[in-house]
Amino acid sequence: MPIYSLFEKTPQIASTVYIHPEAVIIGDVRIADHASIWPCAVLRGDSSYISIGSETSIQDGTVIHCREQTPTIIGNRCVVGHNAHLEGCIISDECLIGSGATVLELVKVGTGTLVAAGAVITPGKQIPEFALAMGVPVKIKENAFLKDAFKDSVENYLNLSEQFKKGLKRID
């Protein structure tokens, strides 16, 4: 798997993390215990840093970048769907970011929130906890979810990453 330092910026990856061999990790990227990074995800911590919380899944094709003095921070037990784009934002614990969603700089997504597939959250927007954020531009429905609403999705990716650690074999 391509993991790169960039000058003095070197990834810090917990030993229990699953990183697919086709993912790319560059620079100041901090990945906590039992997180998983799936095929074709790109995490580029060049101008600030990226932090991925424990038991968080970054799915296929996701692009995560940061902005100068604006890190991208993703909390614990989050699921970031396929082809999402996150840049210079904060995603609190236990969120689900839908496939193809875009979350831009200075956005803060509250705990337990679902950012729907394809949603675009423009710079500086604040999404409250347990909300549903959907649309282009985003519209917010508050108090849409209860605590642990996305627990099954988190557990699914924890189990899947353990299976991939044991069974994934390149055959060419």
- Give residue-wise pLDDT tens across range 121-151: 999 999 999 999 999 999 999 999 999 999 9
pLDDT at 85: 98
Q: What is the mean pLDDT of residues 106-110?
A: 98
β-sheet bridge partners, residue 52 = 31, 74
Q: Where are the domains of the chain?
A: 3-166
Q: What is the mean pLDDT of residues 102-124?
A: 98
* pLDDT(1) > 80: no
Fold for the domain defined by 3-166: UDP N-Acetylglucosamine Acyltransferase; domain 1 (2.160.10)
* pLDDT(75) > 70: yes
The structure tokens listed for 137 are 């531009």
Sign of the C-alpha dihedral computed for residues 24, 29, 33 and 36 taken in this order? negative
pLDDT class for 9, splitting at 50, 70, 90?
very high
Reported for 82-91, long-range contacts at CB under 8 A and 24+ positions apart, including other chains, are: 84/59, 86/62, 87/63, 88/48, 89/121
Question: End-to-end alpha-carbon separation of the chain, Å?
Answer: 15
Q: Percent of the chain having pLDDT more than 70?
A: 99
Q: What is the DSSP string of 72-114?
A: EEE-TT-EE-TT-EEES-EE-TT-EE-TT-EE-TT-EEPTT-E
Compute the CA torsion angle 65, 24, 80, 52 (nearest 10 deg): -70
